[in-house]
Amino acid sequence: QVQLVESGGGLVQPGGSLRLSCAASGTIFTIYAMGWYRQAPGKQRELVARILHDGTTDYADSLKGRFIISRDNSKNTAYLQMNSVKPEDTAVYYCYANLRAYYSSPQVDYWGQGTQVTVSS
């Protein structure tokens, strides 16, 4: 089975920084993309950032360069560096990976358990 373990969330002051980690483990043939969505209370889940198999990155326009996504392919791990955080960044952040578990398996999204990020003074 594929498992995504997400860590790094917590309480941070406005203007501070956090780094989220998401490690994929289990039977994995190929990871095509990894990234994060977030969901604040009363709001729809939205894409934060993703990084594709070729290293191409994609960010939500609202982040305006504050977040940086990276990956370590040797560890099947993605990182989300969150800089200059704002109270409106408060949300549950869900890591996902788009991958193929086996050569014959379909390409599908897997999800982490989510981690709470709270930006408050």
Is residue 6's pLDDT more than 80? yes
What is the predicted pLDDT for the residue at 104?
92
Q: What is the pLDDT of residues 12-41, one digit of tens each?
A: 999 999 999 999 999 999 999 999 999 999
Q: What is the pLDDT of residues 37-91, one digit of tens each?
A: 999 999 999 999 999 989 999 999 988 789 999 999 889 999 999 999 999 999 9
HEC profile of 20-86: EEEEEECCCCEEEEEEEEEECCCCCCEEEEEEECCCCEEECHHHCCCEEEEEEHHHCEEEEEECCCC
Between 62 and 112, where is the model more confident?
A: 112
What is the predicted pLDDT for the residue at 119?
98
